[in-house]
Amino acid sequence: MRDLVSKLDHEVVLNAVVSTTTPTCTGVDCADALSVTHLVNIGESGDTLSGSVYLTVILQESVDNSAWTTVADDDVILRNGNTIIATNSVVIDAAAEDDVVLGMGYIGNKQYSRPLITLTGTHTNGIPLAASAVKESKIIQPAI
């Protein structure tokens, strides 16, 4: 079988919102997944992004879906467009950097993971944000 639908589960961890403050993404249970990728969709900011008005995206992990820590750089495969980034952090601080989908592959060993999108400075008009997770599970045979 060459389709992905039979192998993937999808969870919304942040409903689409125009945010002026740091939103909270829900945790994803990674226990039964073969792999987990978080997708963070960042729209075009309504404010002028700069060194004092920006957002940072990192991946967090947890053993209990309650206490969260930053994932080590070695436990994340981070893709910004077509560019692989060697750290667990992306800073969006210029107009040329927003309007992007970040892919964050979690390869750590904790049961839960989630993106953390931190808005720094005054975001008066806000920035469109959404996030979801795609989990590769055991092959599910389609009904015939």
Q: pLDDT digits over 8-52, tens only?
A: 888 999 999 999 999 999 999 998 888 999 999 999 999 999 999
Residues 94-123: tens digit of each pLDDT? 999 999 999 999 999 999 999 999 999 999
Write down the pLDDT at residue 142. 58
pTM here? Answer: 0.89
Cα separation, 92 vs 100, in Å, equals 10
Cα separation, 79 vs 23, in Å, equals 21
Asked whether residue 91 carries a pLDDT value surpassing 90, the answer given is yes
Return the CATH fold of 12-136.
Jelly Rolls (2.60.120)
- At 84, the pLDDT band (50, 70, 90 cuts) reads confident
- At 139, the pLDDT band (50, 70, 90 cuts) reads low
Write down the pLDDT at residue 25. 97
